[in-house]
């Protein structure tokens, strides 16, 4: 494993650790903020932070590249989060957690269709997928029965699909050769632009006085600067180094991070079901990544 590949794995792991803990900040903010308000504030804050870090203008070569940025913003910033949030209003969070984890499988299908450079997939990827999904299901349901809700579950499937589209688009953008901070900022810009019409549908209000509460301010800073500005950059760096497929399997770790965070911060008890599920999800990740011949299926 080369230095570039190792850095890619570290970037993906770092990103997932942060994303796996965002539910705590979101949970705190939901007491006084609507989901779409949290979404809008965090990405505007992320955009401003990326602009301050790197205020240079990105000059895109051609309309086709610009369209790729537009689609990435639509999928990864706007549609994914809106679909996920709306899905949560129709179905259980456990259902959404399991279904969203199907995103790596969609990424595989799309990469085979659109990214010839992603390499040949081996059987261990699919075995790892099945093991990880079984583990994620155990973590999410943790002894409770699964209750199907067609509307919410279909929305969650769509969210997983658009995240896979975002992964493929990010891989395409990385081939343009632009600095990652600038490409991430460009994607944020279009994502926020597409988000604006939804603000009117979900009774959005500015209400900046709510940030006078230090707890609210710290949590939105964590989401805006950490989970958005920093983590989208590190995720895009990981995709650039590893490829869309190998980076996407780190999504299996999100429920694991959530379980660990719940135990450490919220003092929630560990059940044997969630413990077994955690081990299976991690095992599935390693199975998907394992390469007996030493050749990386995701990197070019």
> 145-148: which pairs have CB atoms within 8 A and are 24 or more residues apart?
146/94, 146/95, 147/91, 147/92, 147/95, 148/95
In a domain, 294, yes or no: no
Highest mean pLDDT among 150-164, 173-187, 242-256: 173-187
Sign of CA dihedral 170, 176, 180, 183: negative
For the chain, what's the residue count? 300
Q: Is 67 a residue whose pLDDT tops 90?
A: yes
In a domain, 40, yes or no: yes
pLDDT band at 117 (very low <50, low <70, confident <90, very high): low
Q: What is the pLDDT of residue 294?
A: 37
Domain range for 109 is 3-289
Q: How many CB atoms lie within 10 A of CB 45?
A: 17
Largest Cα separation within the chain, whole Å, is: 58
Distance (Å, whole) CA 279 – CA 298: 24
In degrees rounded to 5, what are phi and psi of residue 268?
Answer: -75, 145
Look-up of token digits 């085979």: 112
Q: What is the pLDDT of residue 143?
A: 59
Q: What is the pLDDT of residue 63?
A: 93
DSSP annotation of 143? T
In a domain, 228, yes or no: yes
Q: Is 296 a residue whose pLDDT tops 60?
A: no
| Whole-structure pTM value | 0.85
Ranking 51-65, 109-123, 147-161 by mean pLDDT, the lowest is 109-123
Q: What is the pLDDT of residue 299?
A: 31
Residues 6+ apart with CB under 8 A from 55: none
In this structure, what token pair is assigned to residue 183? 């490409």
Distance (Å, whole) CA 280 – CA 278: 5
pLDDT band at 254 (very low <50, low <70, confident <90, very high): confident
Domain count of the chain? 1
Segment (H or E) for 183:
helix 180-201
pLDDT band at 291 (very low <50, low <70, confident <90, very high): low
Percentage of the chain with pLDDT > 70? 90
Residues 6+ apart with CB under 8 A from 289: 128, 246, 249
Q: What is the mean pLDDT of the chain?
A: 86
Is pLDDT larger for residue 300 or for residue 244? 244
In a domain, 297, yes or no: no
In a domain, 296, yes or no: no
Q: Do the Cβ atoms of 157 and 95 come closer than 8 Å?
A: no
In a domain, 86, yes or no: yes
In this structure, what token pair is assigned to residue 191? 């994502």
Distance (Å, whole) CA 174 – CA 184: 10
For 90-108, the pLDDT digits (tens) are 877 767 777 888 888 889 8
Burial of 44 (0-12, 13-18, 19+ CB in 10 A): middle
Q: What is the pLDDT of residue 171?
A: 93
In this structure, what token pair is assigned to residue 4? 């570039």
Q: What is the pLDDT of residue 80?
A: 95
Q: Do the Cβ atoms of 66 and 145 come closer than 8 Å?
A: no
Look-up of token digits 């699919």: 126
Q: What is the pLDDT of residue 300?
A: 25
In a domain, 99, yes or no: yes
């Amino acid at each position: 494993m080369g230095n570039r590949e190792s850095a890619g794995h570290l970037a993906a792991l770092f990103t997932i650790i942060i994303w796996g803990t965002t539910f705590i900040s979101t949970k705190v903010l939901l007491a006084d903020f609507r989901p779409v308000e949290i979404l809008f504030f965090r990405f505007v804050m992320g955009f401003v932070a990326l602009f301050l870090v790197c205020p240079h203008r990105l000059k895109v070569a051609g309309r086709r590249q610009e369209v790729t940025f537009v689609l990435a913003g639509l999928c990864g910033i706007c549609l994914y989060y809106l679909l996920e949030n709306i899905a949560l209003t129709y179905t259980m969070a456990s259902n959404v957690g399991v279904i969203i984890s199907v995103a790596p499988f969609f990424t595989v299908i799309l990469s085979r269709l659109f990214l010839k450079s992603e390499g040949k997939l081996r059987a261990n990827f699919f075995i790892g997928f099945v093991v990880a999904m079984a583990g994620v299901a155990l973590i999410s349901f943790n002894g409770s029965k699964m209750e199907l809700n067609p509307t919410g579950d279909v929305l969650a499937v769509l969210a997983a699909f658009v995240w896979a589209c975002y992964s493929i688009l990010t891989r395409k953008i990385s081939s343009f050769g632009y600095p990652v901070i600038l490409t991430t900022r460009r994607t944020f810009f279009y994502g926020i632009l597409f988000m604006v019409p939804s603000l009117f549908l979900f009774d959005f209000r500015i209400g900046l006085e709510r940030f006078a509460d230090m707890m609210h301010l710290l949590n939105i800073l964590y989401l805006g600067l950490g989970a958005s500005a920093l983590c989208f950059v590190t995720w895009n760096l990981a995709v650039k180094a590893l490829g869309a497929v190998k980076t996407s399997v780190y999504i299996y770790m999100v429920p694991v991070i959530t379980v660990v965070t719940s135990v450490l911060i919220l003092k929630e008890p560990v059940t044997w079901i969630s413990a077994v599920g955690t081990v299976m999800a991690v095992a599935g990740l390693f199975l998907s990544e394992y390469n007996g011949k030493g050749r990386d299926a995701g990197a070019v």
